[in-house]
């Protein structure tokens, strides 16, 4: 892990009682709120996760990885403790470092979530970039994503074993596709949590660029990476738009240029600055969240995204899609979606 000058801890702003709603992407947030409104949904999902033996998953990493502590990977351990302090985490999860050539971080577990960083992601990033990575994974924990992450982890492994069995994996694959689409939105949420943990926009940019281009930072340019993002968005014709959709199949993360552009936009708008100024939703108010409000926020987010996009396919369907969103909002206004958010399990 390369040494570098980081943002002094005393200059970071602690965010007491912050709700995950403060940083969650509207599409991610509305999906989770709607799911939690279904009576017993989280309980059923956790029981299903229990069939795959959550304890066995932790034991596997306990046996095969290194658990960060005062004696092992102390810099990472203290970065996690400080990030937990910044985000006012209700519980401090365990952090494991796993030997792997795959550049990856994970937040897993249902009852007691824990974090896993591969050795490759640790070697790729400097200290401040790793704080962004750790904050990103803590965002999954604070948002209650870990139950769904764990299910996706197991289901993907199960699907790979059933791939050669005719028709056995088709129904499973449908569930996985749905979870992957949600997970791509959840990743955008947790990039924001990572930025809140480090409060260093340049470090967050570097971390995402390195995921795409590797460790040679001197060869990377944030301005040029922005141009790549704009070029990817504004492909020449609908055929490439369709290819973009097909290339998302089987992926759990948005592409690097998309994540970079989305996070940079959020860092520049008022929400990020408002949070650091202390103006953000608190966990104590989570139960009062209204599903209709979350749906409307998600709809507005999609409309804003469509209006910004230069993608020809989005341009062709923008009017139809906006009309559908408006119709959905009118239905919500007409019939109401009262009730509060039930998220007893959000914080674990």
Percentage with pLDDT > 70 across the chain = 62
Per-residue DSSP letter, 21: G
Distance from the first to the final alpha carbon of the chain: 29
- Token reading at 207: 């971390």
The contacts of residue 302 (CB under 8 Å, 6+ apart) are 26, 27, 321, 325
Pairing of strands 94-98, 66-67: antiparallel
Mean pLDDT over 110-122 rounds to 92
Percentage with pLDDT > 90 across the chain = 41
- Delimit the domains of the chain by residue range: 9-335
Q: Could you tell me which residues are beta bridge partners of residue 116? A: 96, 106
pLDDT band for position 134 (cuts 50, 70, 90): very high
Please tell me the pTM assigned to this model. 0.76
Q: How far apart are CA 182 and CA 171, in angstroms?
A: 18
Residues 20/143, Cβ–Cβ less than 8 Å = yes
What pLDDT sits at residue 340? 46
Please count the other Cβ atoms lying within 10 Å of the Cβ belonging to residue 88.
Answer: 14
DSSP state letters, 276-303: HTT-S-BGGGGGG--HHHHHHHHHHHHH
30 class by beta-carbon count within 10 Å (0-12 exposed, 13-18 middle, 19+ buried): buried
- Token reading at 265: 């936009």
């Amino acid at each position: 892990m390369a040494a570098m000058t980081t943002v002094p801890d005393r200059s970071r702003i602690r965010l007491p009682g912050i709700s995950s709603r403060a940083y969650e992407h509207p599409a991610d947030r509305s999906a989770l709120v709607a799911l939690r409104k279904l009576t017993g949904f989280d309980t059923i999902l956790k029981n299903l996760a229990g069939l795959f033996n959550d304890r066995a998953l932790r034991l596997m990493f306990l046996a095969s990885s290194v658990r960060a502590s005062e004696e092992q990977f102390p810099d990472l351990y203290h970065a996690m403790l400080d990030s937990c302090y910044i985000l006012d985490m209700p519980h401090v999860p365990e952090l494991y470092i796993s030997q792997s050539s795959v550049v990856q971080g994970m937040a897993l577990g249902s009852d007691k979530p824990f974090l896993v960083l591969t050795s490759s992601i640790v070697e790729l990033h400097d200290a401040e970039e790793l704080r962004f990575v750790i904050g990103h994974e803590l965002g999954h924990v604070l948002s209650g994503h870990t139950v769904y992450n764990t299910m996706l982890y197991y289901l993907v492994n199960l699907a790979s074993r059933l791939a050669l069995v005719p028709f056995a994996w088709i129904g499973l694959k449908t569930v996985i596709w749905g979870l992957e689409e949600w997970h791509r939105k959840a990743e955008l949420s947790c990039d924001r949590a990572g930025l809140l943990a480090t409060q260093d926009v340049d470090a967050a940019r570097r971390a995402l660029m390195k995921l795409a281009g590797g460790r040679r930072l001197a060869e990377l340019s944030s301005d040029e990476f922005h141009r790549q993002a704009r070029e990817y968005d504004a492909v020449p014709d609908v055929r490439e738009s369709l290819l973009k959709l097909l290339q998302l199949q089987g992926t759990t993360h948005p592409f690097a240029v998309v994540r970079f552009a989305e996070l940079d936009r959020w860092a520049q708008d008022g929400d990020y600055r408002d949070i650091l100024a202390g103006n953000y939703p608190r966990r104590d108010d989570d139960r009062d969240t209204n599903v209709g409000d979350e749906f409307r926020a998600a709809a507005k987010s999609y409309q804003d995204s469509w209006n910004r996009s230069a993608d020809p396919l989005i341009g062709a369907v923008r009017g139809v899609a906006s009309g559908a969103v408006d119709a959905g909002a009118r239905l919500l206004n007409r019939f109401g979606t009262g009730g509060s958010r039930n998220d007893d399990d959000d914080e674990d």
